[in-house]
Amino acid sequence: MQREAVEMTVRHETAKRLLPDLGREGCGEGKTLAAVARDLEVTRQVLMDRAATFTDAEAVNAGCLSCLKCPAMAARFASQALTVAA
């Protein structure tokens, strides 16, 4: 057994390696979270873990400012942690 913090670090690093550059082609209007994950050939959890590790610039690049399908992004918006830098 690992501590939760260690497990989260491993999950986030795995997601970054599997999806290093998730641009707008990954997510799209009308797609479900499951469909996006299937298109990218990862699990929904990996996709959410990657979203949780986005920098603000990566979130903007992936189109997350208008998308709350991913629970990781929904939580981020709710806490207002996402800021858009020009």
Taking a C-beta distance cutoff of 8 angstroms, is the pair 54, 27 a contact?
no
Selected residue with higher pLDDT from 17 and 63: 17
From the list 45, 41, 40, the residue with the least C-alpha distance to 25 is 40
- What does the pLDDT look like over 1-35, one tens digit per residue? 789 889 989 999 999 999 888 766 556 666 777 88
d(CA 84, CA 86): 6
**Cβ-based neighbours of 83, under 8 Å, separated by 6 or more:** 56
- DSSP E strands, 1-86: none
> pLDDT at residue 85 above 50?
no
